[in-house]
Every structure is written in structure tokens, then in C-alpha cells.
Chains A and B, each alone.
Chain A
Amino acid sequence: MFDAETQQAFMQEFLSENREAMDRVERGLLLLESDPTNHEWLNSVFRDMHTVKGNCRMMEFTRLEELTHTAESLLHLLREGKLVLRPAISNRLLAVLDAVRRSLLSIEQTGSEGDEDFTAQILQMGQCHEEVERPREAGPEILLETHPSPDFVPESAPHGGEKETRSNRLDSVRISIERLDTLMNQIGEMGATFNQLKYAISHHPQQIDQSLEGLEQHLQKVQGEVLQYRLQPIGQILDSYHRLVRDLAIETGKKVLLELTGEETEVDRSILISIKEVLGHVIRNAIDHGLESPDVRVELGKSPVGHLRIGAEQKHGQVYLDISDDGKGIDLNKVRAKALAKHLITMEQALAMKEPDIMRLIMAPGFSTAEQVSKISGRGTGLDVVQTAIDKLGGTITITSEAGLGTLFRLRIPQTMAIVPVLLVKTSQETYAVPQVNIVELVSFYGDEVARNIEGKMRSPMVRVREQLLPLASLRQALAMPVAGVDTALDLEQLQAKLELHVVVLQSEESLFGLEVDAIQEPAHLVIKPMGHMLAHISILAGTAVLPDGSVSFLLNVPELIKC
């Protein structure tokens, strides 16, 4: 398609550009021998190899293209940190370099790649690839298959057509034999301590306490070890949103750039599985309602491409997930008007509500309307499912938004949920567990103190704690009527007539409130299991746990309790 003169010019450019690139590759490889993980050099060597490959393809030197392509793939693994540049790999790459140079010389002299066979070189580089499949350093590994309880399986695939490979990967864990050996050793020590305990019980009763303490320590070590195995990088689910964002962008005719940070943040696998779909809803919402169409954005002086950022960060055993867009933001007046029109709030409430409370209305059940359920918003679910799911995990959601600039959803979720520090309380002869993380303090009143510290305010009982009046909820009443909309106002006089009153002061989001219980028992660390299907609709309960005496207790869902 080009005349001979043009072809000749291309050939000259091909030779000189590739030779310069090969010189830089050589220099880079030699520099990397003293600093094998230097990112800048790895990138530069990769790019030069990539350019040479592209040039070979353009000029249709197919065998040289295959050779440089294999070298490029190997350099890609090095660049991604999946392989480390050992002398053996470095030698192979230098050998490729020499072969490319010989071939370029042949092209210059004869116009053909020459008859050198690159098969052996390509196969050798292929062997390096296999090392990545079976890492050398980590030693042999065992793949453990686990079957999460049905409660943790997302009800449906997050998005049509998506291959669930990432999430499937969450169903199994790779453990190196070395780690398994550590676990086995710890179990061996536990066995020895158990034998000591048995012996102490029959022969040395004075040593029972010591043996029990030893057993407890080993138990905690094993627990800690197993919890570590359950942690997985959150990138495993975040990565899958590229596809979702792509599909949503095409469906809505918007342009979206998805940026991920903190993908390495580790979270318990069961939590990852249960937030996967939830996060999808937040993303849908951001693209559907937050980001403007490219035309509108340009008119506003914004980039036509909307930015959607998801960042994860771990702090004090909690994981913070920020989902932000640079769209139009949430119009609080519109939200208020819509909530009024849907009778979600009264005019009185509407006038009294503060900004964060109004913002929160977008997650109220019934807020997103049927006529608004577009193809995007999907199965007619609003953001209320997000609130419910995060509540169940014991997490929180805060929304901040600035008109014209965008919206930020900040989710706080526990990093691990298998073992939760709780306080056990008793009400109606049943034991309930309150997460320690929500507890501010415990207050008990006796005799006259009860009446003096309980007051009524607009028919609702309040409790005085440290000169501050806090709303008072009764656990008994909350459990009796878990249905929303039923009047659960406490009888003030009945409360004031009590001889003793026990209050757990709880914090949920910004608000403090008192929870009245029959008795306060001891703190404990409980292994929490998700609620079974039968009870899953009771929003004030977040999970179940087996108590030391073998009975079953329920974990209270504090953010839901305050709504009672």
C-alpha cells in the first residue's frame, strides 16, 4: 500500500528506533541487576520492549514480534511485582536482546528476519511465567474449599453477564503448608495443656487455674491465626466494579472514570461477600443520580468524564470505604419535598430536621419510587437495602454532599466480624449481647433515684445522665414490637415507679441514647453467626451467638434500636 520509497523510509526508522530501544533495554537490565525492583527502570524497559514489539507487528516481522511479545509479558510480571528479577531471568532477557539485535542486522542486510529459531528462548521465558502460577518462595500450598452459610450468598449476580470469578475466589483460601504447620503446632500445644488440665483436676487441683489460663492463651492464638486466614484484600471485589461501571456508563450515555485506591485493605471474607452487592447499589446510585451527562457537565465547565472514586482504608479494626462522585450533589430541598410527598415525614419533622437527617432520608425505605426505578436502578431496590445491610454488619453510613460538586458515601464496616466483644444484658428472662463498640457507659438507679432521673418530654421518656437528658428506649418494648409504625412510647409512670433501673448508654452515629434493660451482666467475646432466614427480617437483631452455658443469645443492632 506504500510505495517503495516510503517503505524504505519506514524500514530505516524501524531499524534505528528499535536499536535505540534495545540499547536502553540493555542499560536498564544492567542497572536492574543492582536494584531489581526499581520501578522506574522496570517501566522503562517494559515500554521499550513494547514499542519494539509494536514496530515488528507494523512491519510484519511475525517471529520477532512473538519473541519480543513474550519478553514484554515477562517484563510485565516483573513490573507488577509478581516476579522478582533474578540473575537467571536477567540472563534470559539479555539473551533475547542479543537475538533481536542479530535479527535486526539480518533485516538490514537481507530484508528478512533471518532463520534463527526463537522457540527455545520463548519456551524458557514461558517457564518463568509458570513460576508465578506456582510461587517458589511460598512453598507448596493447599486450597481449602469452604462453604459460606446461605445467608452470606448474594441473592443474585450483581450485574447481568458478569463472570463471578472474583467472588468465587472468596469461597476458597490458599494457605501455605508453613502456616498450616504453625496452626498444627498450636493445636499440639493446646493438646498438651489440655492433658495438664486433666491431670491437675485429678491430682493437683491447685494447678487448675494455671492450666486453664494456658489453654485460654492457646485458644486465643489459634483464633487470631484463623482470623488472619479469613482476611482478603478488598480489591477482590472492587475490581469487579470496572465491568459494572462500564455497563452503567453505556446504558446511561454518561462518561465515567472509575478510580480505586486502597485495594490492598484486608477485610473478612464473609463481610466482603455481604457488601459486594451493596456497594454495587451505591455505585448505581452515583452514576444514575449523581453524575451528569457529558453535555451538561461541559456546560457547567466540568470535564465531560465524571469521576467515581472508591477508596478503602483500615483504621483501628474498622474499614472505611469512601464512594465519591463529582456529580451534581444531593439537593436537600428536593429530598425534603419528596419525603413529604411520600408521607415519610410530617411537615413538623421536615421543618425541624437537620442536614444530615435529611440526607439520610434518601436511604429510607420507600424513598425511591416505582416510576423512578429505571433499568439502572435495577430490581426496584432503593438505597434502603444498603442501610439495612450495613446495619447488620454493625457498620455505619454517612453521606455528605455539596451542590454542584458531588456526593460522598462513607461506609464504616468492621474489618472482621467473627469474634465481637460484647456486653451481656438480660431482659424478659433472655440474654442479649450489646456490641462494646456502641457502649458509652452503664448507669443504674435505685429507689428514689429512679423517679428523679426519669423525665417525660413530649410524651417520650428521657433519662438524665451526667446532667444531660437522653432519649430512653426499652429493650423489652423494642423486642415486643419490632414492627415500624406502632406506637412504642414507654409508660412514664410505670418507669418512674421502678425500684431499680439499669441503663446502657449507647452511641449510634452522632446520637446518644439510653437503653433500659432488666439486668446488666458480664462482658464477653462471642463468635457471632448471621441471623437465619426465619429471623432475618427482624432488623434490631444483627446475629446469634452461643453463650458459655450453651444457650443462644442475640446480638443487638444498635442503629436500629434507636429508631424504636
Chain B
Amino acid sequence: MDSKTALIVDDSSLARMMVRKIFSTRFPEWRLVEAKDGEEALAMDGIGPKIALLDFNMPGMNGIELAEKLMAKHPGLTVYLVTANIQERMQQKADSMGIGFIKKPIAEEKIVDLLAKLP
């Protein structure tokens, strides 16, 4: 996992667009891979992402279900759920899986922060 690849999964094309813009201006050395839902994200092969930013409410599987599958597929992957509001029990579920949170809306400084925290 030497390549700097980030995966964003969000069914809002506006949200993906913003993240894409942040990465292309601030972190051009990173490769950004996009998917609009879990199914699409899991179908991608050979991406080996280092970090994944997942929306919670998506068609098909939700962000936590997707996180579990992605973590199994890419051991060592750091996962963040990007969400505006989340039920306490979902929050606990995510905590127990070692998933981080970023509060919506996603902004440049938040991404700077979490990329700095990467192992």
C-alpha cells in the first residue's frame, strides 16, 4: 500500500465533486478513486486505497456495512464515515470497528487533518 490512493464513496455527485476539487488542488500527489455506492466501490479491483471516506446513507448497503467489507478486502485501510448526523447506536457500532468520523459538510481543513493523522 505504498501508493497514495484515497477512495470516496458518496451518492451525492456534489459531495464527490468537492472532495475531488480539494484533492486536486491541495494533494495532487494523491490518486482519488470515486464510487457512488457500495456495490460500485467493491467492484473496483487493483485500487489498494490507503484511506476511504464513506457516506453513511447510500442506496444498497450503508456506510458501516461497506466499511466492514472494504476493511476485509483491504487490510490496513483507514476508514472515515462522512455524515451530518448519526444515531448513537450507529456511532457505537462504528467505534467498535475502529471507524472514524468526519462531520458533514466535508471541508479542506478536515481532509488536511485526517491525512496528517494517517499511519
- Residues of A bordering B, CB below 8 Å: 1-2, 6, 9-10, 13-14, 17, 43-44, 46-47, 50-51, 53-55, 57-59, 239, 242-243, 245-246, 248-250, 255-258, 294, 298, 303-305
Q: Is the CB of B96 within 8 A of A257?
A: yes
Given A13-B13, A246-B95, A256-B96, 4 other A-B residues pairs in contact with their CB atoms under 8 A: A13-B14, A255-B71, A257-B93, A298-B76
Q: Which chain B residue shows the least CB distance to A55? A: B14
- Which residues of B35-89 are within 8 A (CB) of A? 57-59, 68, 71-72, 75-76, 84, 89
- Given A9-B17, A57-B84, A242-B89, A51 contacting B96 (CB threshold 8 A): no
Given contacts A47-B57, A246-B92, whether A58 and B18 have CB atoms under 8 Å apart is yes
B108 in the interface (beta carbon within 8 A): yes
Closest to A11 in B: B14
Q: List 12 A-B contacts (CB under 8 A).
A: A6-B21, A9-B17, A10-B18, A51-B57, A54-B84, A58-B15, A239-B89, A246-B93, A246-B96, A249-B97, A257-B68, A303-B72
Tell me, rounded to whole Å, the shortest Cβ–Cβ distance linking B18 to chain A: 6
Give complex CA distance A304, B98 in Å: 10
Least CB distance from B73 to A in Å reads 9
Do A304 and B95 contact each other (CB < 8 Å), given the known contacts A47-B58, A50-B57, A55-B15? no
Would A53 and B11 be within 8 Å (CB), given that A256-B97, A258-B93 are in contact? no
The distance from the CB of A51 to the nearest CB of chain B, in whole angstroms, is 5
| B105 lies within 8 A of chain A by Cβ | yes
* Cβ of B81 to closest chain A Cβ, rounded Å: 13
A17 touches B14 (CB 8 A): yes
CB proximity to A under 8 Å, residues B1-41: 11-15, 17-18, 21
Q: Using Cβ atoms and an 8 Å threshold, which residues of chain A touch B84? A: 53-54, 57
Contact B75 A298 (CB under 8 A): yes
Asked if B11 and A250 make an inter-chain contact with CB atoms under 8 angstroms apart, the answer reads no
Q: How far is the CA of A258 from the CA of B91 in the complex (A)?
A: 12
B104 cross-chain contacts in A, Cβ below 8 A? 54, 57-58
CB proximity of A280 to chain B, nearest CB, Å? 15
Q: How far is the CA of A370 from the CA of B86 in the complex (A)?
A: 40
Contacts of B75 in A (CB 8 A): 294, 298, 304
Bound CA span A250–B99, Å: 11
How long is the Cα–Cα vector from A429 to B103 in the complex, in angstroms?
Answer: 71
CA distance A314 to B80 in the complex (A): 38
